[in-house]
Amino acid sequence: MAAVGRFDAEFALRAIAHPGRRQMLNLVWEKERTSSELAKHCRLSPPAASQHLKVLRQAGLVSVRAEGNRRYYRVRAERVAQVAAMLDRFWGEKLSRLQIELSDRNVGRP
């Protein structure tokens, strides 16, 4: 689990490895949603949705706002940006070199 007060991009990356959590992240990027809305959209049981949301919260990727007995979830864009930056640092140059290499191999081919 991520340390309190410190963002762990590696933990966040593991959290979004699950397709259901990525789907939830997409949905809460668009607008705030309740856990029951997310469960319905993702075709998950409420307990399963709750567990996935817990992982996303622990990873620092979503925030939660209480209103009465409802909880509203929203993406933490700055945290997603940190994950993207980490991936870009790791893959950016490698993917650029790969694209150049593949382009060089295809030169002269019909």
CATH number of 9-106: 1.10.10.10
Helices (H), the chain: 9-15, 19-30, 35-42, 46-58, 77-106
Query: What angle, rounded to 10 degrees, do the helices at 19-30 and 35-42 form?
Result: 130
For the chain, the domains span 9-106
DSSP 8-state symbol, 105: H
Residues in the chain, pLDDT under 50:
2-4
How many whole angstroms separate alpha carbon 62 and alpha carbon 80?
A: 9
How many whole angstroms separate alpha carbon 91 and alpha carbon 9?
A: 15
Mean pLDDT of the chain: 88
